[in-house]
Structure 1
Amino acid sequence: GCSCLMDDSLTGLCVGQSSWMTDETLPKPFLNAWPSWIMPPKSNVTLQCHTSTKNVNFVLRKGRSILESLQSLASTEGVAEFHLNDLKTRNAGPYTCKYYRRELPQISSQPSDILLLLVTGEFPKPSLQAPQRGVVTAGETVTLQCQRPDNIFMPIKFALLKAGAAEPIRVQDPAGKETDFSLRSVTVSDAGNYSCVYFQIGAPFLTSQPSNFLEIQVRGSFPEWLHQVTFPPTVPRRGDYTTGNLIRLGLAAIIVVIMGAFLVEAWCSQKEPPRGSV
């Protein structure tokens, strides 16, 4: 077998063979991070490179530096996994992957789209607030405002995170020292604990600590079709009384009793003999 020497531009030279050629017809691979591309320090992340092309070797690159070359699993899966353990700040940065055929000529694919890996904890945490306090109703718009500390002046972006979600919910540019994340037409599934971070948009891609969690509760609403349902009017049976009728009957009975008491008192007063008579 021959040994391949690779330089920083990912052009490989096999001793005694021609250099790699990039084939535009090979589909470029897809690179993703599991469980997420924003991770706390000392955690583990797996970068997965996927392609539909079989019998290939994969190369992972951070910036212009080649990190690792890995043969695809059983050469039939078309996927390679690169494990980064005990993450540190220096692991943050832009990653790409590409693959090349094992048979001659060794043709390589285009690189994947860039995946930016971030490691949190280098800057003070931002604050996350929501004007809508308490429970919101499904279908409404919820605005979450993330604000960086006053002493941060470098070019940054904000990312909105949700506990339990693998990927950030949104990534946005700031408007001054803050940004507003709008969650439109929320559903019950949008309920949960949210936080946000900010990060440098250039090397070394330092990232803040996450903000404190902000809990969003979503109250379900009736489906629209339920509001349009009409029910036939009910005809009261003979002898049925509404609550209003029962109240009127009760008041009438009280009045009759009071008037009867007055009549008895008047009749009794007429029967008594006048005082001083013999």
Structure 2
Amino acid sequence: MDDSLTGLCAGRGNRMTDETLPKPSLSARPSWIMPPKSNVTLQCHTSTNDVNFALRKGNVPVEFPQSPDSTEGMARFLLTDLQASSSGPYTCEYYRREPPQRSSQPSDILLLLVTGEFPKPSLQAPQRGVVTAGETVTLQCQRPDNIFMPIKFALLKAGAAEPIRVQDPAGKETDFSLRSVTVSDAGNYSCVYFLMRAPFWASDSQPSDILLLLVTGEEGVPRRGDYTTGNLIRLGLAAIIVVIMGAFLVEAWCSQKEPPRGSV
């Protein structure tokens, strides 16, 4: 997640760990930023077989039921009815089932955020939300004036499991720059802000007002700067084919106009 999280799981005790076991990965579905009373699945994955998994919040082991669709090498922990107290840094690890029963190193930290403890921010686009493909668009997220604790901002896009960007503010706002946008960047954007330390509060369960970003320009239509050698060759071949087809059509039309041989 962020370098500032690396110290959150210090002092984990003196458990025997096996340096040869690959570190597992931990992800959240549908996202690591969730509204209260919702459900989230934390997925711990490793390429090592015949292992048992464990989930921790900070330094404390947590007991969540594994989903029935967990598979060999993949444990899915279902967290239901999320509350503000569910927010925090999570890691997972795994243990060999057979002796020697040593554990892996912990996964990288996943910061789970449950929104709703701060007022929602605002999100604005100086270009009024309409840009041309290839341009840079800046989306500005701004928190209310009455927040004085150190926070970070996250830019969200509808349908994306992970935030598009996470960054520090400049004062009470931050600018998210999307460079060389394409039509795939079009969509509904919002933002949230959150504390990077306990109690890991985040802004309102309704993020900022939705901002619809429109990107003009058709996919597949070459724009200035797109005329590479490959494109020129394809355009040349297409032109030759059109000329040949035109010659055949002219020949056929002329043959129909000629009088039959032997006629007066």
Contact 1:146 1:158 in 2 (8 A): yes
Contact 1:57 1:69 in 2 (8 A): no
The one of 227, 233, 248 equivalent to 1:225 is 227
Q: Deviations over 1:102-123 (max 9, x none)?
A: 1112111000000000011110
The one of 125, 138, 162 equivalent to 2:120 is 125
- Determine the structure 1 residue equivalent to 2:45: 50
Question: Equivalent residues in 2 for 1:1-278 (5 A)?
Answer: 9=12, 21-68=16-63, 77-209=72-204, 210-221=207-218, 222-223=221-222, 224-225=226-227
TM-score, length-scaled by structure 2: 0.76
The 10-residue stretch of structure 1 (21-30 or 217-226) with the greater mean CA deviation from structure 2: 217-226
Q: Deviations over 1:134-190 (max 9, x none)?
A: 521111111000011001010000000011111111000111111000011111111
The 10-residue stretch of structure 1 (52-61 or 133-142) with the greater mean CA deviation from structure 2: 133-142
Structure 1 residues 92 and 30: CA distance shift in structure 2, 3 A: same
Contact 2:43 2:75 in 1 (8 A): yes
Task: Measure, in 2, the Cα distance between the counterparts of 1:71 and 1:192.
Answer: 34
Structure 2 residue matching 1:26: 3-state secondary structure: coil
Structure with more contact order per residue of length (Cα contacts < 8 Å, sep ≥ 6): 2
TM-score, length-scaled by structure 1: 0.73
Letter in 1 for 2:125: A
Task: Measure, in 2, the Cα distance between the counterparts of 1:137 and 1:68.
Answer: 50
Structure 1: which 4+ aligned runs deviate by more than 6 Å?
A: 69-76, 226-232
Q: Unpaired segments of 5 or more residues in structure 2?
A: 1-10, 241-264
Shift of 1:69: 7.5
Shift of 1:202: 0.4
Q: Percent same amino acid at aligned positions?
A: 75
Task: Measure, in 2, the Cα distance between the counterparts of 1:83 and 1:72.
Answer: 6
Structure 1 residues 103 and 148: CA distance shift in structure 2, 3 A: same
Task: Measure, in 2, the Cα distance between the counterparts of 1:74 and 1:133.
Answer: 44
Structure 1 residues 75 and 152: CA distance shift in structure 2, 3 A: closer
Q: Choose 1 or 2 for highest CA Rg.
A: 1
Structure 1 residues 134 and 182: CA distance shift in structure 2, 3 A: closer
The RMSD of aligned alpha carbons is 2.6
Shift of 1:9: 3.4
- Determine the structure 1 residue equivalent to 2:248: none
